Amino acid sequence: MNDAKNGPRRPKIVGLSHMTFQSSDIEKALAFYRDVLGYEDVLRLKGPDGRLARALVRISDTQWVELRPEHTPKSDRLIQFGFQVEDAEALRVYLASKGVAVPDSVFVGETGNRSFHVKDPDGHAVEFIQYLPKGWPLREAGKSPGAKALSNCLMHMGFDVSSMDRSMAFYRDILGCVEMWRGSSDDKTLAWVQLRLSDDINYIEFMLYDEQLSLERLGVFNHFGLEVSSMSATMEEVSRRLGEREYPRTVEYGIGKCHHRLANVFDHDGTRAEFMERGTFDGVVTPSSTLPAPR
């Protein structure tokens, strides 16, 4: 539908779909997702050479984490992230009307869904996906991703952002995300900005910075958040499952600046999965910071 004055209206962006990471050892990563996070439903896609090209770990009927073979050693693990949309073609037309560089058409990929990619202001590949009934993961609807899965909700996606203003122009002004909260780690500048999707309760998180990011720091910044109902129960189970396994970073549990109970676990490449309860631990909404962005 078009608005005579402002052009095409923005179609609904109805949810977070996935994050994609490169892995130095996909089988080792899949063992982490299975044995620690509890996800057992994996879609394996092979390339023309017959080798594993993509492994999609299902979190829910509409969400997943994707792993691909490492393309560049000792580089950022994040490859792309995606959003579920109501109408991919209509959104492509809408974005073009706002001056965003878009492909000439949408396509139906290996998973059987309609999608297209754009670049955000920081150069991140962003995929917009319209799920089709016979595509994956909708064809698995109602099936458990794993009897021992610790979460069935990709609650947020966090990624590195160098310019808050440019990202706000894209994610807030064009995509329609609604700002929820701003936080600081040092009481000098902002560190995080959270924006909820306009048609969903889940959100994205800008991880702000003003200096060169190390690989370890990128592993912390570019992460996915999993909703849990009880952090204490989750951490007890995570600790039991980890046992004597060796990972590059230990489990971190605490209360965030946002007053949410949270915990971080890392795979063998240092990619972070964050567990978080939906509400604050004390029922108090932490005031949003008014500090300036790092740059």
Specify the pLDDT at position 96. 98
Specify the pLDDT at position 252. 75
Inside any domain, residue 284: no
Q: Are residues 128 and 227 in the same domain?
A: no
Inside any domain, residue 27: yes
Q: Are residues 162 and 96 in the same domain?
A: no
Specify the pLDDT at position 5. 66
Instruction: Please tell me the pTM assigned to this model.
Output: 0.94
CATH of the domain at 248: 3.10.180.10
155: left (phi over 0), alpha (psi -120 to 50) or beta: alpha
User: What does the pLDDT profile of the chain (295 residues) look like in tens digits?
Assistant: 565 567 899 999 999 999 999 999 999 999 999 999 999 999 999 999 999 999 999 999 999 999 999 999 999 999 999 999 999 999 999 999 999 999 999 999 999 999 999 999 999 999 999 999 999 999 999 999 999 999 999 999 999 999 999 999 999 999 999 999 999 999 999 999 999 999 999 999 999 999 899 999 999 999 999 999 999 999 999 988 988 766 656 677 888 888 899 999 999 999 999 999 999 988 888 899 999 999 8
Specify the pLDDT at position 166. 97
Specify the pLDDT at position 4. 52
Specify the pLDDT at position 253. 81
Specify the pLDDT at position 257. 86
Domain boundary among 110, 140, 170: 140
- Buried b vs exposed e over 17-43: b needs ≥16 C-beta within 10 Å? bbbbbbbeebeebbebbbebbbbbbbb
Q: Are residues 19 and 110 in the same domain?
A: yes
Residue linked to tokens 């590949």: 125
Q: Are residues 133 and 164 in the same domain?
A: no
Give the C-alpha distances (Å, rounded to integers) separating 219 from 28, 75, 236, 266, 270: 17, 10, 24, 8, 5
Which structural domain, as residue segments, surrounds residue 251?
Answer: 154-276
Report the run of H or E that residue 221 belongs to, with start and end: helix 215-221
Q: Are residues 136 and 159 in the same domain?
A: no
Inside any domain, residue 57: yes
Q: Are residues 24 and 125 in the same domain?
A: yes
Overall domain count for the chain: 2
Distance of alpha carbon 117 from alpha carbon 182, whole angstroms: 28
Q: Are residues 34 and 97 in the same domain?
A: yes
Domain boundary among 140, 170, 192: 140
Specify the pLDDT at position 242. 86
Inside any domain, residue 206: yes
Specify the pLDDT at position 7. 83
**171 is written with which tokens?**
């994610």
Q: Are residues 163 and 133 in the same domain?
A: no
Q: Are residues 162 and 271 in the same domain?
A: yes
Task: Give yes or no for a contact between 20 and 80, defined as CB atoms under 8 angstroms apart.
Answer: yes
Inside any domain, residue 149: no
224: three-class secondary structure by DSSP: strand
Q: Are residues 170 and 111 in the same domain?
A: no
DSSP code per residue over 49-103: TSSEEEEEEE-SSS-EEEEEE-SSTTS--EEEEEEEES-HHHHHHHHHHTT----
Inside any domain, residue 86: yes
Q: Are residues 12 and 97 in the same domain?
A: yes
The torsion angles phi and psi of 31, rounded to 5 degrees, stand at: -65, -35
Q: Are residues 55 and 158 in the same domain?
A: no
Inside any domain, residue 265: yes
Specify the pLDDT at position 284. 83
Inside any domain, residue 228: yes
